[in-house]
Structure 1
Amino acid sequence: MNTLLKKCLAAAVMFGSLLSISALTPASAAPNDDLKGKNVVLVHGAFADGSSWQKVIPLLEAKGLHVVAVQNPLSSLDADVAATRRVIDQQNGPVILVGHSWAGAVITQAGNDDKVKSLVYVAAFAPQKDQSINDILKGKPAPSWASALQKDSGGYLTLSTDAIIHDFAQDLPVAQARLVAATQGPWFAGCTDDKVTQPAWQNKPSWFVETEKDRMIPAALQDAMAQQIGATVIKVDASHVAMLSKPTEVAAAIIEAARATK
């Protein structure tokens, strides 16, 4: 038998062995990243809409999670909570409820739904009982972007394009930040006085993505709120819109919460 024929036979035997091993490998040996049966409900904040999660959604779906982004009216805490609860009600199985910015107040209230098993705050407010956003900010110096707020005839606020580029989304390319400015959701000014009545974090495990370059909600304030609610903290070197500038890190925090959810 010549050398070439011997090599071919040896290769065939090895290939057959590998196929046999593969056939005997149990399904349990597959990666444990499949999180099918669990739902992630994403809630956007002020000056945004559901598309703000566009970079995070595919990363979550790749792990087998079912994902829905809420479209909030941004007209009051009650209205945003109602919109979020409608989406929660449509889910089959446990829900990981995620809120960005103002939506931290929304998930704090809406998270009392029995389907919600854990909360994830992303650069968000985490009010205590009978506390509003204005209560949280009381006594603190006004941020530089406050003067850039524009109020329309209905009392809804938007941020100037300049404030979006330099304070809201300063770590995005300017062209992308301009898109954020052009598509922002106006936020009713009265929302800042709406109070949470029953904080869900009192009874649900929480995670908190702290954005260390945040010019909207300072990192120190985020950290104080995270400590108050006993959240697991993940720090990200990002602006206020970490879900757009650092989607991999934000998705990883949500996936961590999903894995811990029973």
Structure 2
Amino acid sequence: MTSPTIVLVHGAFADSASFAPVTRLLLDRGFTVRVPAVPNRSLSGDAAVIRALVEQIDGPVLLVGHSYGGAVITVAGVAENVVGLVYVAGYALEEGESLAQLQGGFPDSDLAQNLVYAPYPVPGAEDGTDVSVVVESFPDVFAAGVDMSTAEVLAVSQRPLSAVAFGEPASVAAWRTKPGWGIVSAADHTINPDVERFGYERAGLRSVTELDAPHLVMHSHPAEVTEVITDAIAQLG
């Protein structure tokens, strides 16, 4: 099989730069990589954006989703040319399940007490609600283990997630038809690590790697994340 294009899908409260260390390592190894901006407006809409991008790529695609990006690739991954899914501290939703439903089965993480809600305009409709992390809490809750100077920059450049995305059910679960791999961030304060473990086990992922890492594992452990991605490609080959 032709080596797939690797599409790195960021999550909530982050943007494409959250994958920067891993992107650099993959490019250095000669892989073709795309790191699109996710609107973070709705699960169905975000998945449609990623699927549209994927379907414009000539050849196979490996989707890699961090955090909320895991939910996005769960839906977008049904695109015909997607050959595999890699979940990085991510949500592996079941068809018909929302983020809120999956999280609701487990104790809250530290994130729940450190969220900020703000309105944003929706043309022709009532204002939407953006959700972000308290800036002062961001380094500990979202980026623990990341260099403080980097964490502070990320904290003030968050990409919020619309509140509607939390309650929207996944229309499909691509892991039912596509092979998957997962990374659990065992020191995660944003997602309860048991949420990650449960979703991965239910999805029957080919392998799960546990790292003593924070939620932003791509910054704290870029080599290990890159290895999981490249191992997945080797297995697909």
Q: What TM-score results when the alignment is normalised by the length of structure 2?
A: 0.92
Deviations 1:34-63 (CA, angstroms, capped at 9, x unpaired): x97420001000000111111001211223
Q: Does 1:45 align with 2:20?
A: no
Kindly state the Cα deviation for residue 225 of structure 1 after the two structures are TM-superposed.
Answer: 1.3
Q: Does 1:186 align with 2:160?
A: yes
Counterpart amino acid of residue 65 in structure 2: G
State the match for 1:157 in structure 2.
131
Secondary structure at the counterpart of residue 146 of structure 2: coil
Counterpart amino acid of residue 140 in structure 1: F
Q: State how far apart, in whole Å, the 2-side matches of 1:87 and 1:136 are.
A: 27
Give structure 1 stretches of 5+ with no counterpart: 1-34
Counterpart amino acid of residue 219 in structure 1: P
State the match for 1:219 in structure 2.
193
Kindly state the Cα deviation for residue 143 of structure 1 after the two structures are TM-superposed.
Answer: 2.9
Give structure 2 stretches of 5+ with no counterpart: 121-128
Give the percent of matched residue pairs that are identical in Structure 1 and Structure 2: 33
State the match for 2:180 in structure 1.
206
Against the structure 1 CA distance between its residues 152 and 137, is the aligned structure 2 distance closer, same or farther, given a 3 Å change threshold? same
Deviations 1:210-246 (CA, angstroms, capped at 9, x unpaired): 1111011122221121111111101112100000111
Q: State how far apart, in whole Å, the 2-side matches of 1:139 and 1:186 are.
A: 24
Secondary structure at the counterpart of residue 21 of structure 2: coil
Q: Which has the higher contact order (CA 8 A, sep 6+)?
A: 2
Q: State how far apart, in whole Å, the 1-side matches of 2:105 and 2:200 are.
A: 19
Contact residue 44 and residue 170 of structure 2 kept, 8 A:
no
Contact residue 132 and residue 195 of structure 1 kept, 8 A:
yes
Secondary structure at the counterpart of residue 228 of structure 1: helix
State the match for 2:65 in structure 1.
99
The Cα RMSD (Å) is: 1.4
State the match for 1:120 in structure 2.
86
Secondary structure at the counterpart of residue 153 of structure 1: strand
Q: Mean Cα displacement is larger for which, 188-197 or 57-66?
A: 57-66
Deviations 1:116-136 (CA, angstroms, capped at 9, x unpaired): 000000000001110000110
Q: State how far apart, in whole Å, the 2-side matches of 1:89 and 1:174 are.
A: 38
Q: Does 1:261 align with 2:230?
A: no
Secondary structure at the counterpart of residue 254 of structure 1: helix
State the match for 1:12 in structure 2.
none
- Select the structure that is richer in helix: 1
Say how many residue pairs are matched.
Answer: 228
Secondary structure at the counterpart of residue 190 of structure 2: coil
